[in-house]
Structure 1
């Protein structure tokens, strides 16, 4: 009989990579992610604190619209996503109205990608709110702005098609 293998305990940090953020903002988001599992109100409070401290930090909007969408609080999700979309458009140097955007090369990250990703999220939120026309308009824009589907909008388009 061979000797038993030693058990090796590896601890990996339970963190989400939010990108290049000030340490204090990243800490608030990490705490919010952990808190979400046990206390959603505490998670939202942490995300709101991060938003108040750094309204230019796009991942904060992502956290807010994600938790509200998960909870089915679609009005709050819509508001957070719209705010995030406006901030991302501002940072990308794009018009505030997504209908005025024109196709441009898409970087692997950055404000432009976040704007398109958030437009996709808004389409999903509109589907959940049973507003298929609004979702369809956003998906039509994404077909032009992101023809390769890099931000994942084809998945939402398939959901929309399945609801018809």
Structure 2
């Protein structure tokens, strides 16, 4: 009995995520983690953490970890990894580890500085999911100044935050009426 070829059999390699320039062993761990995540999130976490131990200066590893933990609702883990990634990106960009002291020029930065802004946005989203809208609002206010064009996507999170605040206000109004 002959099996029909699968679509993935047609390609030399399965879909590869472009994480940028990484050491080959780290890239391999991230690619394996992405594939594993579909069926075995715990294995994906282990692979990503192995990559982090091997290369704590590779920002893509932090991204993978905070993304999977956010998707799974493991918000404490997502927050901790994103904070670590933010510190590493700030260090690489030559910025303070305190995002409240950051500034950018008229051009949106690239590389580690852009990753830092993107991760600050991710932390704002995680804060919203943790029911910490005030903390999210502070990060979004900073992003509005650091990235006025919204290039890292913070306006989407700001709209979510506004909706959360309106819902909270409506709940309070309903309770006191």
- Kindly report the root-mean-square deviation, in angstroms, between the aligned alpha carbons of the 2 structures: 1.3
The equivalent of 1:75 in structure 2 is 76
Alignment of 1:55-74 (within 5 A): 55-74=56-75
1:39 equivalent to 2:40? Answer: yes
TM-score (norm 2): 0.85
The equivalent of 1:161 in structure 2 is 162
Residue-by-residue CA offset, 1:95-142 (whole Å, 9 max, x unaligned): 0100000123323x4100000000000000000000000000000000
Find the aligned partners of 1:26 and 1:59 in 2 and give their Cα distance. 9
Residue-by-residue CA offset, 1:25-75 (whole Å, 9 max, x unaligned): 000000000000111110000000000000000000000000000000000
The equivalent of 2:143 in structure 1 is 142
- After superposing on structure 2, the runs of 4+ consecutive aligned residues of structure 1 that deviate more than 3 Å are none
Runs of 5+ consecutive residues of structure 1 not aligned to the other structure: 1-7
Find the aligned partners of 1:73 and 1:79 in 2 and give their Cα distance. 10
Q: 1:10 Cα shift?
A: 4.0
Q: 1:14 Cα shift?
A: 1.2
The equivalent of 1:54 in structure 2 is 55
- Size of the alignment, in residue pairs? 156
Find the aligned partners of 1:60 and 1:71 in 2 and give their Cα distance. 17
Query: Larger % of helix: which?
Result: 2
Runs of 5+ consecutive residues of structure 2 not aligned to the other structure: 1-6, 166-177
TM-score (norm 1): 0.92
Q: 1:24 Cα shift?
A: 0.5
